Chain A
């Protein structure tokens, strides 16, 4: 069953219990998305946890996670449904071979062919036609990569929560899915689609929240290390890097450090593990220019503050 919610703080609590620390803004947006049954469009830097949110929602509500990864040229046969043509052909041949088709008109034969059992349900139809007890979570990832035409179609589906297959008729959702769309802003998502959705711009977490995230996701990391890592990442984000590290990188880094048995940052460990946080050679160079020693020093100060 869909969870009963009274307040955005219920959402925050439930997400936390499932390993996701949301700030008040995101909790409110999710709360409204669920209670108003509106899709939620998340935009923000890569690696701030947009996709992760959908996974956590699925874990929390128990709804099946249905993911649609968008890309340029995605069309109905990849996103909504397709017919299993090879099986249809086989069926046709079989009907021919057994003589079953003898007494049938072309029309009747066609009706046999366009039956639901030959229908391949892709993500959107699967989400609309879900038979589970709980509303599924539909994740439409990187919608900015799809084409305008696809967006227009998506708008239609997300407004009515129903899909028409011309040969079969209409599928309407019994329990409309909880829909999360993400975008990296490589282009503007069309205004009409945005209006249909609730919108939330996901920021990098602040220091304290990031420490809590690291502690939660990498429980082996001691509090001191978590604070130092979060502190160092906070500094890295101010260096005008090509790709400032997101939360995902912070977690990767903490995991790498734990795997190496590190309990405290020092210049050498930062130097050798920098590849876990910074994925561009230029970014690593810039950080070295800034000075790894300085980075470690700042991280230490952060680690001490209120720790």
Chain B
């Protein structure tokens, strides 16, 4: 079918390609392979049947429920324009359509977050002496250059964490289960007599690490540095998940995956729409628990909340969600950059509500504190009493 593309495109091909353009314009990732499947699908359906075309698109071009609203908007815009002139070459019109994608004012805001270029680098020797000073300096007082250095240092942190037993077994000298495969192999060599026996035992597996970063207004001086910390974790090891919490919950794992930190941070900033807005900690944690955490992501995981604990919502909600999170997680850590402030007491209502459920309460204002955090993550979880 697709071999004929070079000749004259069929109506289905024309429609598929045009619509794929609209989707890409709206910000959806549409790989060519999916478009070809869409063409195949359209070939089996009626092109003038709106619902059939809609569902064919949904089945072939959408891959997560989060993309559905965007798809819907793009589809109705496309369908309107497509019905008017089905015969006209589908080249130019759809590309022009600008869809009402969410307010971009937020995005401008986020752009400020981008790293200063590396040319501003002082020489290497200088930097090393600077490190000691930097280690204890409060993030809020960092200059842009210092941020760059801090980022480099953070990317060297390691976040392994205690492993757990995996279900997968591997060969070992001594173990609990006989390894029949290996026993048979050596039996073959000794004339069918299983003289040496081989064993298997369970391997070890990294625990998942889940990072929830508060990006609300009150966290502003810290959030951008902490985002680097989060990015370093995501790109540094497997099985890490990252979310931003503010007025709503945003998953950033995919965006932060890039090994190039600048790109990762830029992508994440684009994705998150509520930088420096309000905080609804409890509500966001509820969303996290409902949609991800309790379903499996937080189960047996090391969960780290990076937040100052200011919450505009009902502290009851936060307490309830922390309790849920504690019940499924392996190790629950709260990082609060304000903790170091002289005379600090967890008076923020949210912080006070969350405190009873936390395993470890850590500072997060400086590089030294972040190193400390990395050590806490790597440590065995404290014994918990029931409840």
Contact = CB atoms under 8 A, between A and B. Distances in A.
Q: Do A and B come together as binding partners? A: yes
Contacts of B320: 282
A209 interface: no
B191 A89 contact: no
A282 B292 CA distance: 18
Contacts of A198: 37, 59-60
- The dominant DSSP class at the B interface is helix
Interface string A21-45: 0001100110110011010100100
A207 interface: no
Contact of A186 (B44, B168, B188, B292): B292
Contacts of B64: 188
Contacts of B181: 83, 85
A72 B52 contact: no
A101 interface: yes
Nearest to A191: B63
B41 A199 contact: no
B192 A28 contact: no
B205 to A, nearest CB: 8
In this complex, the interface size class of chain B, counting residues with CB under 8 Å from chain A, is 35 or more
A109 B188 contact: yes
Given A89-B187, A201-B68, A195 B34 contact: yes
B373 interface: no
Contacts of A113: 184, 188
A47 interface: no
Interface in A11-26: 24-25
A31 B55 CA distance: 11
Interface string B33-48: 1100100110011000
Contacts of A31: 44
A281 interface: no
B294 A242 contact: yes
Interface in A187-218: 187-188, 191, 194-195, 198-201
A109 to B, nearest CB: 7
B183 A32 contact: no
A145 B208 CA distance: 13
Contacts of B297: 186-187
Contacts of B295: 184-186
A28 B55 contact: yes
Interface in B163-196: 166-168, 180-181, 183-184, 187-189, 191-194
A141 interface: no
B192 A96 contact: yes
B166 A72 contact: yes
A57 B216 CA distance: 49
In this complex, the interface size class of chain A, counting residues with CB under 8 Å from chain B, is 35 or more
A49 B214 CA distance: 36
A100 to B, nearest CB: 10
- The dominant DSSP class at the A interface is helix
A64 interface: no
A186 B298 CA distance: 9
Interface in B269-297: 286, 289-292, 294-297
Nearest to B291: A185
A90 B99 CA distance: 69
Contacts of A24: 51, 55
A170 interface: no
Interface string B73-100: 0000000000000000000000000000
Which 6 A-B pairs give the minimum distances between C-beta atoms? A186-B296, A73-B167, A85-B180, A28-B55, A92-B192, A96-B192
Given A96-B193, A185-B295, A187-B296, 20 more contacts: A8-B45, A25-B59, A28-B51, A32-B44, A32-B56, A71-B167, A73-B166, A88-B184, A89-B192, A92-B188, A101-B192, A110-B188, A185-B292, A188-B254, A191-B63, A198-B59, A199-B60, A199-B62, A201-B65, A282-B320
Interface of A: 8, 24-25, 28-29, 31-32, 35-36, 38, 40, 43, 71-75, 83, 85-86, 88-89, 92-93, 95-96, 101, 106, 109-110, 113, 144-145, 184-188, 191, 194-195, 198-201, 240, 242, 282
5 contacts: A86-B180, A93-B192, A101-B192, A185-B292, A199-B59
